[in-house]
Amino acid sequence: MDKCIEEAKKQFLKGNYKSAIRWYNKVLHKDSTCCEALMGRGQAFHDMGKYIDAVEDYTRVIHIDPVNPEAWRNRSLAHYNLNMEKEAIRDFSEAMRLLGA
C-alpha cells in the first residue's frame, strides 16, 4: 500500500492528476478509511476543478479524523470554489480553531 501512495504522490507532483487518482483508488479499495489517500485524492480532484468530489473526500476524512485541520482547510477552499461562502467560512473557522489560532 505504501508503494501505491508513493506512486500517487509522484504522479500528483508531475501534474498527472488522473493517474494519481487511480493510484489513490487502489489504496482506498484495500482501506477505505486511509486518510492519506483520501486527502491526496481530494487534492487531485481539487486541482482538476472537481470541487464536489474534493468536498466528498475531505468530508470523509473529517468523519474519520475530526481534528484534522488540513481537511477542514481544504474543504473550506473547495467550498469557496463552489461559491458556498457560508460553508467555506465555517470550515476555515474550524481549521483555525483546531490550530489554536
How do residues 10-34 score in pLDDT, each as one tens digit? 999 999 999 999 999 999 999 999 9
Backbone phi, psi, residue 92, to 5°: -65, -40
Other residues' Cβ atoms within 10 Å of the Cβ of residue 6:
11
* CA neighbor of 54 nearest in space, from 30, 80, 29, 92: 80
Q: How far is CA 82 from CA 24, 57, 70, in A?
A: 24, 15, 18
Share of the chain above pLDDT 70, in %: 99
Give me the mean pLDDT over the 71-94 stretch: 98
Report the SS3 class of residue 18.
Answer: helix
Overall fold of domain 2-98: 1.25.40
